[in-house]
Amino acid sequence: MRKFAVISALLVIVTALSGCAQIARGRAEIDKLFITRILSIDKTPDGKVMLTLTTKSLQIGGNGGGGQTQKGESVVSEGDTVFEAARNLLIYADRRPHYGHTEYILFGEEIAKEGLLPYLDFISRQYEFRYNAKVYIVRGATANSLVKKTNTQKMFVGDRIASIEESAQNTTLSTTVTLNEALLIFDNKNLATFLPFIEEKKAIIKEGEEEKSDVLLRGYAIFKRDKLFTFTSEEQARGISWIMNRSGSGIIIVKSKAGEKVSLEIIANKAKQIPRIEGNELRCTIEMSITSNIGEIMGTETLLNPESVKYLKTEQEKIVKQILEKTVRLSQENNLDQFSTITKFIFKYPMMRDYFEKNWKDLYPDVKFDFKVDSNIKGTYLLNDPTGSTEKVMGE
Amino acid sequence: MSPNAKNNTPESEFQTEDKLYNTSTEVTSDNIRSMLGSNADFTSRTFLIRDNSKIPATLAYIDGLVNSKLVNDNILKPLAQEKQFDTCKTAADAIGLISMGIVYSSAMKLRTNLKDLIDDILEGSIAIIFNDAKTAFTFEAKSDLKRAISEPAAETVIKGSKDSFVEELRTNTALCRKKIKSPYLSVEEISVGKQTKTTIAIVYMKNIANRKLVDEVKQRLEAFDISATLTPGVIEELLVDDKYSTFPQVQYTERPDRFCINIVEGRVGIMIESVPTTYIVPGTLLQFIQALDDYSFHFIVGSALRFLRFLAMFVTLVFPGFFITITTFHPEMIPTELTFSIVASREGVPFPMFVEVMILLIAFEFLVEAGLRLPKAIGQTVSIVGALVVGQAAVEAKLVSPATVIVVAITAIAGFTMPNQDFSNALRLWRFIFVILSSIIGIFGLTFGLIFLLYHWCKMETYGVPYLDPFVANEDEQLHDTLFRFPFSTMKKRPSSLNTKNKKRME
């Protein structure tokens, strides 16, 4: 009897107190699910919410002889609210949509301008979504049209975005923002969100080939509260990535004394915001250390001497400082604290937390920013002098 | 005549035999013949010692159980030719001479009651009966009815000795003595089974083993009133604490080295006559996962192999259930690309995942059973049928998906890594429970099953030792030989749970 009581108690705890009221109803065979890889959210011309679920092509067969490819599928539904649109998906899809594998959440430009919070709120409440799904804004089009145009039988658009995400690490153009990060930033009223944006671009094709579209990652979309405000230039995107310590490698092009272009490959960079109050003035120093290698010289000049390297260091410093200044200026002009400068002030002056939080909108545009760049050039991949650099000597 | 009528006929004869078969019946050749005379293999003849008509004697034995050459050369020859018998005038004189060792036998017994005499004859002795003196001598002259010591069939090791126990109890005790040359090695024998009178040897180290443990083993074996103990399972049931648990509580081995290692550790060994498998008590969970090779290899390699076995235990137990869980209830737990592979592999399969897994698991059990029962010569057929029909054909016919075949195959292979077949069988059974629970309420069911299994293990005890020892109630260095095997130099003490007399394994 005691055993029976223990078993029953365990059974009751496991089933009844699990937090899931209809536990057994969650059952569904995996092949009866529409496993969403990309969720696109747009606004239709008549003001409705349009959801597009896209899944990847399936490899079917495989009895030793290859197998056939099934084209990736999309399901579209509309509704007055995002919840209704999601429910309507059940009508259009032959399988139950499953969001557990959604890797990308794409928002069209129009809907982003109206505000993302209602949609992000819906997504965050839907238990199936993963919080590491990446959020992108589609520039100049609806997310639905971008997916339609770029999703081909050979290349799934999700895989293409994944590959450009990887290469973005080497260009300092943009970085990924996860759903979790986006929600955290949106929750802070003093911060401005930046989300990476993608856009459609005509792919380079051979003569006679059909026209193709490709996806490119271009920079960041800047938000004022939850509404899309503007898109950054490539330079500003780099500045944001640097200040927020979100960048990997990248190329800085400087000119040598002789006016030849030199490509410096960034191998390390780190930025730090140091806030302080001087009199009645809020000041913030952005200290950045950047280390690069000489990647290539577009000329014949030999730069492997201390004097030339010192010159290049100074040039690198100038360019980095310039980018940082431009980025911060734009941010202050628009009164959008994308760099979480308020947090740095609160950490330094915790007793003034309430004051900062209440008045940050008025304070931020007047914060005096200073820039200190520690520019380093570690070495070079060039083991030999550039071709042609000895020509003069031999000619003499 | 009906079968019942046939069975009723000899009832009166049984009653006669029951009356004779006791320690108060006199030893006479007639009584012997009344008891055993109806058997075709019973042989008896009367002869005269040194041709002296005053000293008749009867020779009695079971043909086949005794060695004829030994009987002729060592017993009958001296009785017929030894000149010292010329001085005998009565049977009593001859008995006196035989008692003094005139017959060449190391194991001679004087019997004055019929029960003892018959027991000796049935054990393979030859009897010389003196009707006048109501006395008999029995001489041990067992025939060589034993199998040679061969390599262990079920417990193979890469390093280590290649001998194994045989059906002959005395050979087995000798194998044990050969490995433990200690005067403290004790071999006690008891007889179990009314009809079979199977001799069981209890082997332990007097200076190490806990006396209470030895007494408990003896008590359990003696307390059981059973007619036959021909299968080891009967003895095993006598020894276990929890008869309803599918998990083994007694360790078995056919390897003398493994048996002796455990004896020296302070455990008690049990050898059964005519059974080449020996038992060791108490048996704990860890022992069923440990293999002898763990101690033969370098301790890092041994540890890795043992950890792998623990992993295999977990895999074989929960993998099919977990697979059902993630594919039916929690697909978000599967990596994205793998999800699509599974979906693609299930294309066209009509059954739900639960049915698919059950079909394959049951088919696998059929194959295992068939493989065990089939004669070796046609055993390969099962593998071919298994691979082609269950594997390839079922996948091609879209009865099952390749992913499920792989899951069940991994489960099966993982199960075969268990060194103890009883333990492996228990895991096989529990696997089905987990599959059913998983198919009802997903990960909650699986978790419930695991909690219940843990509860079951936690409440089990064998001879006062927790089944999960040394993971529970352990002392200091006992964990050095569990998930991983530490160097021998760190394992200086014997298992504390055994409460041995001598706790130190090494100084």
Domains delineated in chain A: 23-232 (no CATH), 234-396 (3.30.300.210)
Substitution target in B326, B328, B336 with the highest count of A β-carbons within 10 Å is B336
Which residues, numbered 434 to 473 in chain B, qualify as contacts with chain A under a Cβ-Cβ cut-off of 8 Å?
Answer: 440-442, 444-445, 447-448, 451-452, 455
Q: Which residues of B touch A130 (CB under 8 A)?
A: 332
CB-based contact A26 B343, cutoff 8 Å: no
**Chain A interface residues facing chain B, Cβ-Cβ under 8 Å?**
6-7, 10-11, 14-15, 18, 23-24, 26-31, 33, 35, 37, 56, 58-60, 62-63, 98, 100-101, 103, 128, 130
Taking only the tens place, the pLDDT of each residue in A288-333 is 999 998 888 887 777 777 888 889 999 999 999 999 999 999 999 9
B504 DSSP assignment = B
Residue B133's pLDDT is what? 83
CB-based contact A63 B352, cutoff 8 Å: no
DSSP string for A192-218 = --EEEEEEEEEPP--TTPPP-EEEEEE
Taking only the tens place, the pLDDT of each residue in A331-381 is 999 898 888 899 999 999 999 999 998 999 899 999 999 999 999 988 766
Q: Which residues of B touch A33 (CB under 8 A)?
A: 331, 343
- Cα–Cα separations (whole angstroms), residue A60 to A34, A155, B66, B250, B332: 16, 17, 73, 50, 21
Residue B117's pLDDT is what? 87
Is any Cβ of chain A less than 8 angstroms from the Cβ of B342?
Answer: yes
| Residue A66, pLDDT above cutoff 50 | no
Is any Cβ of chain A less than 8 angstroms from the Cβ of B340?
Answer: yes
CA closest to B353 among chain A residues: A29
ipTM of the complex model:
0.77
CB-based contact B353 A30, cutoff 8 Å: yes
Q: What are phi and psi of B384, to 5 degrees?
A: -65, -45
Substitution target in A18, A29, A126 with the highest count of B β-carbons within 10 Å is A29
Three-class secondary structure of residue A156 per DSSP: coil
Is any Cβ of chain A less than 8 angstroms from the Cβ of B349?
Answer: yes
Residue A396's pLDDT is what? 44
Residue B138's closest CA among B235, B211, B32?
B32
Residue B1's pLDDT is what? 41
Three-class secondary structure of residue B268 per DSSP: strand
CB-based contact B328 A28, cutoff 8 Å: yes
Q: Which residues of A touch B327 (CB under 8 A)?
A: 29-30
pLDDT 10s per residue in chain B (507 long)?
444 444 554 555 556 666 677 777 788 888 888 888 888 888 888 888 888 888 888 999 988 888 888 888 888 888 888 888 888 888 888 888 888 888 887 788 888 888 888 888 888 889 999 888 888 999 888 877 777 888 888 888 888 888 899 988 889 999 999 999 888 999 999 888 777 788 899 999 999 999 999 999 999 888 877 766 667 777 888 888 888 899 999 999 999 999 999 999 999 999 998 889 999 999 999 999 998 888 888 999 999 999 999 999 999 999 999 999 999 999 989 998 899 889 888 888 888 898 899 999 998 898 888 888 887 777 777 777 777 777 788 888 888 899 999 999 999 999 999 999 999 999 999 999 999 899 888 899 999 999 999 999 999 999 989 999 888 877 666 788 888 888 888 888 888 888 888 888 777
DSSP bridge partners of A318: none
Decide: A212 and A202 in contact? Cβ < 8 Å. yes
Q: Which residues of A touch B349 (CB under 8 A)?
A: 31
The pTM of the full predicted model, rounded to 2 decimals, is: 0.79
Residue A395's pLDDT is what? 46
d(CA A96, CA A273): 48
Residue A65's pLDDT is what? 41
**Helix (H) or strand (E) segment spanning residue B114:** helix B114-122
Q: What are phi and psi of B334, to 5 degrees?
A: -90, 140
Q: Which of B331, B342, B448 sits opposite A11 (nearest CB)?
A: B448
Name the minimum distance, in Å, from the CA of A75 to any CA of chain B.
17
Token output for B310: 């623990």
Token output for A141: 């089009």
Is any Cβ of chain A less than 8 angstroms from the Cβ of B225?
Answer: no
Q: Which residues of A touch B339 (CB under 8 A)?
A: 30, 35, 101
Residue A19's pLDDT is what? 53
Name the minimum distance, in Å, from the CA of B314 to any CA of chain A.
21
Q: CA-based angle B220:B225:B230, to the nearest 5?
A: 90
CB-based contact A58 B343, cutoff 8 Å: yes
Q: Which residues of B touch A63 (CB under 8 A)?
A: 396
- pLDDT, chain A, mean: 84
Sheet containing B268-272, strands listed edge to edge, beginning at the edge strand earlier in sequence: B185-192, B198-205, B268-272, B278-281, B251-253
d(CA A216, CA A211): 16
Residue A383's pLDDT is what? 61
CB-based contact B340 A35, cutoff 8 Å: yes
User: For the purposes of burial, counting CB atoms within 10 Å of the CB of A132, is it exposed (0-12), middle (13-18) or buried (19 or more)?
Assistant: exposed
Residue A390's pLDDT is what? 61
Q: Does residue A18 or residue A34 have the better pLDDT? A: A34
Is any Cβ of chain A less than 8 angstroms from the Cβ of B176?
Answer: no
CA closest to B446 among chain A residues: A14
d(CA B371, CA B75): 50
Three-class secondary structure of residue A239 per DSSP: helix
Q: Which of A23, A35, A130 sits opposite B339 (nearest CB)?
A: A35
Whether residue B470 has a cis bond before it, omega within 30° of 0? yes
Q: Which of A31, A62, A130 sits opposite B332 (nearest CB)?
A: A130
Three-class secondary structure of residue B157 per DSSP: coil
